[in-house]
Amino acid sequence: MLGKNAQAEKVNTLIGKGTRLEGNVVSSSSLRLDGELVGEIQTEGNITVDKEGNVRGNLYAQNMTIEGQIEGNLYATNHIFLASTAQVRGDITAQTLEMEKGATFNGKSTMGKEEVTDKMKKKESKQHTEGQD
């Protein structure tokens, strides 16, 4: 199961339990969130949101393991795993989606590589345009 393997992977950035971060995070490596984020995460690596983790904003990554609460959209170029403790309110776009019994998901899901690539390209294009202002 990818969700359990993703947790064993080396994590370069940790937003620890008891930490509240407001703003956007951009990273080229994998990260783990055990605290709270109000904003957006965009990484070229993987994202793990621990069961204590809470995100209000969109997440962009290659793979995601969600055990905590998300209020926002999830975009993965590959796989999203929702553990039994996951609570997601928002849309999911990924190549594949896996949900354990007990996970809650309120939103729409879009599967397929083309859909993910299109969403990610739109995001990158929007950031590039905003950066020129």
**Mean pLDDT score across all residues of the chain:** 85
DSSP character at residue 73: -
- The percent of residues above 70 in pLDDT, for the chain, comes to 76
In contact, 27 and 41? CB cutoff 8 Å: yes
User: Tokens 């590039």, residue?
Assistant: 128
Q: Between 114 and 102, name the one with better pLDDT.
A: 102
Question: Which pTM was predicted?
Answer: 0.81
Residue 56 is predicted with a pLDDT of 98
Q: Can you tell me which residue has the tokens 């995601």? A: 64
User: What is the model's pLDDT at position 9?
Assistant: 60
What is the residue extent of each domain of the chain? 2-126
Distance of CA 124 to CAs 14, 21, 61, 68, Å?
Answer: 24, 23, 13, 26
On the question of pLDDT at 90 being above 70, the answer is: yes
Position 130, amino acid: E
Confidence of residue 107 (pLDDT cuts 50, 70, 90): very high
**Residue 130 scores a pLDDT above 80:** no
Range from 18-27, 53-62, 70-79, 81-90 carrying the lowest mean pLDDT: 18-27
Predicted local distance difference test score (pLDDT) of residue 96: 95
State the DSSP code for 11: -
Q: Classify burial at 82, counting beta carbons within 10 Å of its beta carbon; exposed 0-12, middle 13-18, buried 19 or more.
A: buried
